[in-house]
Structure 1
Amino acid sequence: MTTPADLPATEPELRPPAAQAGVFGWLRKNLFSTWYNSLLTLALAYALVRLLVPFLDWAVFDAHFLGSSEADCSRTAACWVFVGQRLDFFIYGFYPETETWRANIVFAMIALCFVPQMVPRLPGRRPLLILGFTVLPVAGFILIHGGLFGLASVATNKWGGLMLTLVLAYAGMVASLPIGILLALGRRSHMPAIRGLSVAFIELWRGVPLITVLFMASVMIPLFLPHGVSFDKLLRVFIGISCFWGAYMAEIVRGGLQAIPSGQYEAADALGLGYWKKMMLIILPQALKTVIPGIVNTLIALFKDTTLVLIIGLFDILGTIQATITDPAWGDVTTEAYLFVAALFFIFTFGLSLYSRNLERKLRAGAGDD
């Protein structure tokens, strides 16, 4: 009988060679794997240094951050003083200065509900996410619009800047996903009337540019309303954006539904579940998990396309930028202004992408997660 003392001693595991692990291993595998990859890496690194160093000198090291007018800047470096002086207008538009605290509370609520979603191990994330999609839209509208609980009413034509961009993007995201799910289920329905209406709705909205939708919402719809009947332009734009992106979302969700094996439907039927219980408890969770990248990609496109409201007279963040860069008191500050907008859009879209990656990793939705 063999005893533990008779077994050969286990050799300690050896660490991989330094050239194949850690930073050096990653560089060798990804950037210097062959001689031509090495030459390409060195050439790109040289080009980046030649371009990046002058840009950093202009934008950071030699830039002007403090001051109150163009006299505090020089034309050889970035004038971020302009952004600082116009920051309130970029964020709130024409919103009354005495009421901006209401918008700040909404910004804080959005951050409280959605920023923790980027931290996978943070406890209490799910209740915050539920609040963000249920309570926050109502509370945010009451705070920004006013008219209730003693808050002064602020007309939507005074909304602008980053606040308006976030309102349109957030409201469009909250509305387009449920619309897309219902349309996708309708397109796969066995009832000809529902299927036909869903197909017609999807194809109509997908076949029209968003600019045309916004023009219709802003200009044409009031012409068809009875005399003396009207409703807010921002509400019309919100409905147009939600329906437009809901149609795109429907095709993404439909792709997820088609990817579910038929055995899942049969298993749900064997359990005696009704249609809505089958969809809500078994089919839709799997389908939505499959198409997370497509959903997030559509939400990012929705967020960026909110800038199109500028053409119908709404001053979003891009509208406020274009309204101020023509100020003769500041000279040419176009580059600084658009870099500021680009940085804002990158922060928000990258946050969506980061949350998508964390969610995919948590749900194991991707086969090739890094």
Structure 2
Amino acid sequence: MSTSVAASGPSLAPRERPPIGSVGILGWARTSLFGSVWSTAVTLALGYVIVRVVFALVEWGVVHAIWSVPYSANGIADTSVCQNAKGIGACWAVWSDKYRLILFGRYPYDQQWRPAIVVLLFVGLYVVSAMRRFWRKELALIWVITLTVVGILMWGGVFGLAAVSEDYWGGLPITLILATFGLAFAFPLSVLVALGRRSTKLPAVKVLCVIYVELIRGVPLISVLFMASVMFPLFMPAGINVDKLLRAQIAFILFAGAYLAEVVRGGLQALPKGQTEAADALGLSYWQKTGFIILPQALRLVIPPLVNTFIGFFKDTSLVLIIGLFDLLTMGKVALSDPPWQSFSTEVYIGLAIIYIVFCFAMSRYSRNLERDLSRARTR
């Protein structure tokens, strides 16, 4: 009897697949780009402009580009080939001739393998720090060892390495040193300032934190660098001279710390009060509550503005020119001061922009992945 009922019951119809034109890339294009007459017209017009621009850039930067130039007997580049091109093609030969000056500054030519290794060490340190499986106590030791090796390579004077003064440093290592040390020390400072500004039991600390943040945020970075270069030595004891790289580093730490403190404070204020009350109910101390419950959740909420601030300060390292330091962008300008290459600033600045874009895009991409992973773990 059950068999006959099952046989006479309604049969399940096979599931039909949606039309090809309504899903995938074709479906997205049909809905978003060609959904109406006006949308189709704008899409076609923008597509035409983009194709023309891309083809023009390919012709200028690749097809008609000049990649090398001859050199005279005394080693001077003959740029007449690039000059005769009259802008039809890019002259990338400026990079083949000046890349070591742009990337490593006035560091001794025969010792430039040392700053090259330093750049690789920084990149490796960033990669290791980005991997969550290395987020252990040993990571702090890795940072200490790596930065010690960086100092040994750049300064020298030990292990048979020739001593090189900071006056000869420049290029990409200066940019990475200022950005890495600046943000590494500014971030814990910003956490302490943010906690101090929200303090209710220590009014004196709160007032000092408020004054610090408002004072630093009220002046541009150039003025802070200028004050660090001119005024800071006046407060030092007689006979003690702090080199300009350290002065610039202190200025960056103080300036970045104030801005990051406001970002962290925003995350602390966005956290529900129930988290604090639950921690108090468990009998946790202030530092246990802050370190294990409050800060992890607050920092997760402000990952995008934190990384945005990191990116901004990475690019702001170019302002150290005002106190006589030659970062990556400044060394590009120095390379263009050579008379044979003064007409090819476009190629130099495009190359510099690519370097900055690579580092900034890597930070942006990592922040998106980290935010997605933390959100996924929270919703489980």
Same fold? TM cut 0.5: yes
Counterpart for residue 103 of structure 2 = 91
Note closer, same or farther for the CA distance 1:49–1:270 as it changes in structure 2 (3 Å cut): same
Find 2:246's aligned residue among 221, 230, 235: 235
Question: Does structure 1 conserve the Cα–Cα contact (< 8 Å) formed by 2:174 and 2:328?
Answer: yes
Counterpart for residue 359 of structure 1 = 370
1:344 and 1:136 map into 2 onto residues whose CA distance is 22
The DSSP-based 3-state class of the residue aligned with 1:329 is helix
Note closer, same or farther for the CA distance 1:273–1:83 as it changes in structure 2 (3 Å cut): same
Deviation of 1:8 (Å): 5.5
User: Percent same amino acid among aligned pairs?
Assistant: 46
Note closer, same or farther for the CA distance 1:20–1:143 as it changes in structure 2 (3 Å cut): same
Counterpart for residue 136 of structure 1 = 146
2:95 and 2:146 map into 1 onto residues whose CA distance is 30
Find 2:190's aligned residue among 180, 183, 189: 180
Greater Rg by CA: 2
Counterpart for residue 50 of structure 2 = 48
Deviation of 1:219 (Å): 1.8
1:53 and 1:219 map into 2 onto residues whose CA distance is 50
Find 2:155's aligned residue among 145, 155, 159: 145
The DSSP-based 3-state class of the residue aligned with 2:34 is coil
Deviation of 1:230 (Å): 1.0
Unaligned 5+ residue runs, structure 2? 71-76
Q: Deviations over 1:262-287 (max 9, x none)?
A: 11001111111111111111110000
Aligned partner of 1:181: which letter? V
Counterpart for residue 77 of structure 1 = 89
Aligned partner of 1:102: which letter? R
Counterpart for residue 338 of structure 2 = 327
Q: Deviations over 1:10-29 (max 9, x none)?
A: 44433332122121122223
Question: Does structure 2 conserve the Cα–Cα contact (< 8 Å) formed by 1:78 and 1:336?
Answer: yes
RMSD value, Cα: 2.5
Give the aligned length: 363
Question: Does structure 2 conserve the Cα–Cα contact (< 8 Å) formed by 1:172 and 1:242?
Answer: yes
Note closer, same or farther for the CA distance 1:90–1:284 as it changes in structure 2 (3 Å cut): same
Aligned partner of 1:71: which letter? S
Note closer, same or farther for the CA distance 1:71–1:117 as it changes in structure 2 (3 Å cut): farther
Could you tell which deviates more after superposition, 86-95 or 64-73?
64-73
The DSSP-based 3-state class of the residue aligned with 1:15 is coil
Question: Does structure 2 conserve the Cα–Cα contact (< 8 Å) formed by 1:113 and 1:129?
Answer: no
Counterpart for residue 21 of structure 2 = 19
Unaligned 5+ residue runs, structure 1? none
The DSSP-based 3-state class of the residue aligned with 1:64 is coil
Note closer, same or farther for the CA distance 1:117–1:28 as it changes in structure 2 (3 Å cut): farther
Counterpart for residue 73 of structure 2 = none
Deviation of 1:61 (Å): 1.5
Aligned partner of 1:53: which letter? F
The DSSP-based 3-state class of the residue aligned with 1:228 is coil
Find 2:318's aligned residue among 307, 327, 337: 307
TM-score (norm: length of structure 1):
0.90
Deviation of 1:124 (Å): 4.6
Counterpart for residue 220 of structure 1 = 231
Find 2:181's aligned residue among 150, 171, 175: 171
Q: Deviations over 1:233-281 (max 9, x none)?
A: 1001001011101100000000000111111001111111111111111
Deviation of 1:347 (Å): 0.8
Question: Does structure 2 conserve the Cα–Cα contact (< 8 Å) formed by 1:360 and 1:366?
Answer: no
1:92 and 1:242 map into 2 onto residues whose CA distance is 24
1:132 and 1:350 map into 2 onto residues whose CA distance is 24
Deviation of 1:226 (Å): 3.0
Counterpart for residue 39 of structure 1 = 41
Find 2:218's aligned residue among 207, 219, 243: 207
Aligned partner of 2:42: which letter? L
Question: Does structure 1 conserve the Cα–Cα contact (< 8 Å) formed by 2:104 and 2:172?
Answer: yes
2:359 and 2:195 map into 1 onto residues whose CA distance is 30
Question: Does structure 2 conserve the Cα–Cα contact (< 8 Å) formed by 1:252 and 1:291?
Answer: yes
1:123 and 1:262 map into 2 onto residues whose CA distance is 29
Counterpart for residue 100 of structure 1 = 112
